[in-house]
A = this chain, B = another copy of it.
Amino acid sequence: MARWEPDARGRLQQAAMSLFRERGYAEVTVAEIADRAGLSKRSFFNHFADKREVFFANAQFFEESVLAHLASADPRLSAIDATVLALTRCGLDLSTVTSAEDAQTRLDVLVATPELRERDLNKTAELTAAMVEALGRRGVPPRTAGFAAQAGLAVFTVAVAEWLATPAADFPDLMRRALNELREAVA
């Protein structure tokens, strides 16, 4: 028998998410999360830098996915096309892993908690920076890369919101439409 139950990090994440869903982020203490996971408060902070991070434990997976798709996109594509393509594929990947309801409840906790929205913006900014770097490796100048990455993510956000509202819709099509709307908006 193992000295400790396996996957402490995963247990903390699950305990946290269920508690957040039950009572809301603000009403849950780190000590409670750790308790439910069978660990100490101190151990929680060995696995997560702060209380907010546990909510974004799988967001890193998303970032890696975007970057991988971006790296493998046809080098002849323009910055914006490569970005939108990568995010489209990412969205499709995500929709196979996560159900629309899970995504929705997660989003509910997010929008209900200013502290988490703030951190979410930060994650998005970090992702943007990483995408700029990835585009840089494709020879895209930084300024252009910054605009393309921000535009791509704006389009993605809109498309995901649409998809949550109508899960039957075709995601790549939603991305195309949103991109066209953005183009018209800045023209």
Which of B122, B146, B185 sits near A144, CB closer than 8 Å? B185
Compute how far the CA of A80 lies from the CA of B151 in the bound complex, rounded to whole angstroms: 14
Which residues of A, 94-143, contact B by the 8 Å Cβ criterion?
114, 117-119, 121-122, 125, 143
**Which of A15-23, A40-48, A166-174, A176-184 faces chain B?**
A176-184
The size class of the interface chain A forms with chain B is: 20 to 34
Which among A80, A125, A186 has the highest number of chain B CB atoms within 10 Å? A186
In the complex, the answer to whether A148 meets B186 with C-beta atoms within 8 Å is yes
Is A187 located at the chain interface by the 8 A CB criterion? yes
A binding-site residues for B, Cβ under 8 Å: 79-80, 114, 117-119, 121-122, 125, 143-144, 146-148, 150-151, 154, 158, 181-187
Given contacts A79-B185, A80-B185, A144-B181, 20 further A-B contacts (CB under 8 A): A80-B186, A117-B122, A117-B125, A118-B118, A121-B125, A143-B158, A143-B181, A144-B184, A144-B185, A146-B158, A147-B154, A147-B181, A147-B186, A148-B185, A148-B186, A151-B151, A151-B182, A151-B186, A182-B186, A183-B187
